[in-house]
Amino acid sequence: MKDLRFEQKRSLSRREAADQLAALAAALRDGGEAELELGSATLSLRIPDDLRSEVEIEIGDGEVELEIEFKWPTTRKRPAQAPAAQTPARKSEPAKPARGGTGKGVRRPAAKK
């Protein structure tokens, strides 16, 4: 089941169709929160930087059908974490006792007096 579905079918002049596509293009270009005027309705959408598209053209039965579809997830993607830097594998050696008796194997600079 879809969370929301909006569908509008109406006849348009070439100019009206161009205006509708230009408004959609401007919303896509600007991204973020976009408001699209669709006849008497206004639709607000969050448009991310990356999306998927599909263009489909069907010619038959005396008609041309052009579908332009854009898809994106409804949730925002979290930035991918950079993979941790991998250090080259070393041969295991027995641990050596630390100097200075700290027992942690960390060498610390001498305290200034």
pLDDT, tens only, 66-107: 999 999 988 766 666 666 655 555 555 555 555 554 444 444
Q: How far apart are CA 33 and CA 36, in angstroms?
A: 10
The string of pLDDT tens digits covering residues 7-17 is: 888 899 999 99
**Beta-bridge mates of residue 32:** 47
Q: How far apart are CA 37 and CA 34, in angstroms?
A: 10
What is the model's pTM? 0.57
Query: Over 80: is that where the pLDDT of 2 sits?
Result: no
- pLDDT top residue among 68 and 112: 68
Which distant-in-sequence residues (6+ apart) come within 8 Å of 54 by Cβ? 67, 68, 69, 71
Percent of the chain beyond pLDDT 90? 25
